[in-house]
Structure 1
């Protein structure tokens, strides 16, 4: 595993977002660490990946339109993430109801060009001292 496993409550950030967001993991997999554990398929917009405040990507049609209306002045608009696939690379040593687990090294691409990454996995490995 590349790092701590990601669980519900993990903090994420998009490279084009203006605010962090919190991962929601539905407790349907039956796998709990300190909270429901995420796998690479936990990437549904709004349901598991909430908005990141406002979006600044010109690839986002609402941002492009607002920027055009403002005569070229970048105009951020509300962020509605559009995941382009699953979290990558995933931890193939730990499977959660089929798909690999999501760990802190995983990234998720947004269709608007952003890269979503985990800032805080929601749990940390405890080491004996």
Structure 2
């Protein structure tokens, strides 16, 4: 049975059995509430990631200050200090010096444009994954196709694949998945040992990207959109921060087959 009613403009509307103008209005209110809830989740996610970035920045500044003081010492003074250091202090100093070298390499990497196969990691995911590009934009570097800001579509056959198991309490996907653990990796996502040990189990990662890549390289256009670099990032609805750890430009695995 169908019900007819007149809307606010005086036009007759027909709704299916079980619905009425009031139920339609209730449905609209429910949809509006869901949209507002999603917007709130996104805002919370962005605030959370902002706080995380500020914490990381504070730690970086503290270490930079300590390194600056150390580097300002004459070589003779450094040697004298090392002789008086405990093994623990020597280990800390070595760690800071290694950090300084890695930071310099990291800053160089951050200026490179992303290519197909760039290595990514999600703050809520269990596995590193590669950025995909089903169709090239016709722009290449080192024989590898460049990516742009619009290459942010979720899906294993699109741009952003699953990151394994999701640890976010906001993930409402449901279900459970059991996967072999990812291999140990360095800060650039490169394997540093053999196969992963054990398994990981939990809610499957099904990324829902809230916007295109943020912080693109605005002045470089790939196809019709700005290029992206390792400084660019994505935010998932479930509060995951998706970051790039390696541009893929110097990775042999990103080379197209001959």
Superposition TM-score, scaled by structure 1 size:
0.81
Aligned residue pair count: 115
Corresponding residue for residue 107 of structure 1: 233
| Structure 1 residue 28, shift from structure 2 partner | 3.2
Corresponding residue for residue 72 of structure 1: none
Q: Which of 82, 90, 94 is the matching residue for 2:220?
A: 94
* Higher alpha-carbon Rg: 2
> RMSD across aligned C-alpha pairs, in angstroms?
1.9
Work out whether 1:118 is the aligned partner of 2:118.
no
Gaps of 5+ in 2: 1-109, 177-200, 251-258
Separation (CA, whole Å) in 2 of partners of 1:3 and 1:110: 24
Q: Does the 8 Å contact 1:84/1:111 carry over to 2?
A: yes
| Structure 1 residue 32, shift from structure 2 partner | 1.2
Q: Which of 137, 148, 155 is the matching residue for 1:39?
A: 148
Separation (CA, whole Å) in 2 of partners of 1:93 and 1:114: 28
* 4+ residue runs over 6 A deviation: none
Q: Does the 8 Å contact 1:24/1:48 carry over to 2?
A: yes
State the secondary structure of the residue aligned to 2:244. Answer: strand
Q: Does the 8 Å contact 2:173/2:206 carry over to 1?
A: no
State the secondary structure of the residue aligned to 1:112. Answer: coil
Corresponding residue for residue 59 of structure 1: 170
Higher helix proportion: 2
CA deviation string 1:17-37 (max 9, x = no partner): 011011001333111113111
Q: Which of 136, 142, 145 is the matching residue for 1:28?
A: 136
CA deviation string 1:52-92 (max 9, x = no partner): 011011111036x87xxxxxxxx731111111101111001
Gaps of 5+ in 1: 67-74, 125-129
Work out whether 1:77 is the aligned partner of 2:194.
no
State the secondary structure of the residue aligned to 2:234. Answer: strand
Superposition TM-score, scaled by structure 2 size:
0.42
Greater RCO (CA < 8 Å, at least 6 residues apart): 1
